[in-house]
């Protein structure tokens, strides 16, 4: 008589079956956790990339607006007074201590926030050798209910304060862009001054790790000196002669923007070039080459070139 067991009489699992089931469950769990980690890392990278794009877009909008205003207008007309102001920018001599220029730049520069007259100074130790860029411009006015002339709001500083029309150089609008580290985070700052209420220092874009500026200058050639209105070469602020600031025709802005911690899926350690690799040789500039630390942050380079539309005559 053959011995056998029927399915109805089986109770539980054998030890081998139990071990196989546990191993399979562990494999599924590990794969699920790994997939979740990859998806989370990818999401952080995508979010950081979008955030950096938004930051760069905002910076170029703010700086571009200031550059379009630089030197505006020439001359200023006050319609109700039937008079024309002399253009203060025609006397531009290229230093912060003389008549104002439409723009002034400084390499590796921070603004002295305790000073009411400082534009910046080259070699003052900015984060990652970032530059500072100072822009000056006229405003526009209208009569208020009392008959007095007040700023009409059409021309504003980078801090959003309205600039009036004026014949006084101290009342010209002023916007200075520079980089400062606050709570271990680099940030593009705006120092503004409408000429009436004192200066205001405001952080406008966090994560801007490097802010680099180059200038296209219409160079004086021949004897006597002649200029053809066309920029011949790019130079750093250090190489712009004091008498040449009024002949800057274009400005190139380069940025390195970083994301949040853990936003990079891998750190390759490659060097970054905010202005483009072609600006690393043959130019007197610091900060044209940036070596990122391996800190798990995603970084991206952005650059844009702006033409000046209000040069002095």
Q: Please give the pLDDT value at position 28.
A: 82
Q: With contact defined as beta carbons under 8 Å apart, do 127 and 181 qualify?
A: yes
Work out the pLDDT band at 312, boundaries 50, 70, 90: low
Q: Higher pLDDT residue, 16 or 262?
A: 262
Tokens 């700023």 — which residue? 151
Q: How far is CA 276 from CA 4, 251, 281, 301, 307, in A?
A: 82, 14, 11, 9, 18
Model confidence over 211-223: pLDDT tens digits? 999 999 988 877 8
Q: Label the pairing between strands 299-307 and 248-258.
A: antiparallel
Average pLDDT over residues 102-125: 85
| Helices (runs of H) and strands (runs of E) counted in the chain | 1, 13
Model confidence over 240-294: pLDDT tens digits? 888 888 889 999 999 999 998 888 866 666 899 999 988 888 777 788 899 998 8
Q: Please give the pLDDT value at position 144.
A: 79
Tokens 């406008």 — which residue? 204
User: What pairs with residue 201 in β-bridges?
Assistant: 191
Which of 70-74, 78-82, 135-139 has the highest average model confidence (pLDDT)? 135-139
Q: Please give the pLDDT value at position 96.
A: 63
Q: Label the pairing between strands 208-217 and 132-137.
A: unpaired
Model confidence over 181-202: pLDDT tens digits? 999 999 999 999 877 667 889 9
Q: Higher pLDDT residue, 17 or 75?
A: 17
Q: Tell me, what DSSP letter sits at residue 74?
A: S
Model confidence over 143-192: pLDDT tens digits? 777 877 788 888 889 998 888 887 777 788 899 999 999 999 999 999 99
Alpha helices in the chain (DSSP H): 15-69
Does 30 score more than 90 pLDDT? no
Quick one: how far is CA 274 from the chain centroid?
Answer: 11
Residue 157: φ, ψ to 5°: -75, 175
Q: Is residue 31 helix, strand or coil?
A: helix
Q: Higher pLDDT residue, 22 or 189?
A: 189
Q: Please give the pLDDT value at position 249.
A: 92
Q: Distance (Å, rounded) from C-alpha 72 to C-alpha 213?
A: 21
Does 79 score more than 70 pLDDT? no
User: What pairs with residue 155 in β-bridges?
Assistant: none
Q: With contact defined as beta carbons under 8 Å apart, do 303 and 252 qualify?
A: yes
Average pLDDT over residues 98-111: 88
User: What pairs with residue 206 in β-bridges?
Assistant: 187
Q: Please give the pLDDT value at position 83.
A: 57
pLDDT-above-70 percentage for the chain: 85
Sign of CA dihedral 288, 177, 100, 95: negative
Q: With contact defined as beta carbons under 8 Å apart, do 156 and 175 qualify?
A: no
Q: Where are the beta strands (DSSP E) in the chain?
A: 77-78, 83-84, 103-106, 132-137, 141-143, 149-151, 173-182, 185-193, 200-206, 208-217, 233-235, 248-258, 299-307
Q: Please give the pLDDT value at position 11.
A: 65
């Amino acid at each position: 008589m053959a011995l056998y067991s029927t399915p109805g009489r089986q109770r539980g699992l054998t030890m081998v079956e139990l071990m196989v089931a546990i191993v399979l469950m562990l494999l599924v769990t590990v794969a699920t956790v790994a997939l979740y980690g990859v998806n989370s890392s990818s999401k952080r990278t995508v979010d950081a990339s979008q955030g950096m794009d938004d930051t760069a877009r905002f910076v170029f909008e703010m700086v571009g607006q200031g550059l379009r205003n630089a030197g505006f207008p020439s001359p200023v007309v006050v319609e109700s007074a039937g008079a024309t102001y002399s253009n203060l920018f025609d006397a531009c001599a290229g230093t912060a201590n003389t008549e104002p220029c439409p723009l002034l730049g400084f390499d590796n520069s921070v603004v002295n926030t305790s000073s009411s007259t400082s534009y910046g100074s080259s070699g003052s130790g900015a984060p990652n050798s970032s530059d500072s860029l100072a822009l000056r411009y006229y405003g526009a006015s209208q009569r208020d209910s009392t008959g007095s002339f007040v700023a009409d709001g059409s021309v504003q500083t980078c801090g959003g304060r309205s600039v009036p029309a004026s014949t006084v150089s101290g009342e010209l609008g002023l916007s200075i862009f520079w980089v400062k580290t606050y709570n271990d985070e680099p940030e593009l700052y705006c120092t503004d001054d409408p000429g009436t209420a004192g200066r205001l220092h405001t952080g406008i874009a966090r994560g801007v790790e490097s802010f680099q500026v180059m200038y296209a200058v219409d160079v004086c050639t021949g004897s006597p000196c002649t200029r053809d209105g066309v920029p011949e070469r790019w130079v750093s602020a250090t190489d712009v002669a004091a008498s040449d600031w009024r002949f800057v025709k274009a400005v190139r802005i380069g940025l390195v923007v970083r994301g949040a911690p853990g936003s990079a899926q891998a750190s390759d350690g490659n060097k970054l070039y905010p202005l483009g690799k072609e600006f690393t040789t043959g130019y007197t500039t610091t900060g044209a080459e940036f070596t990122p630390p391996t800190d798990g942050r995603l970084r991206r380079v952005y650059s844009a070139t702006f033409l000046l539309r209000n040069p002095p005559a």
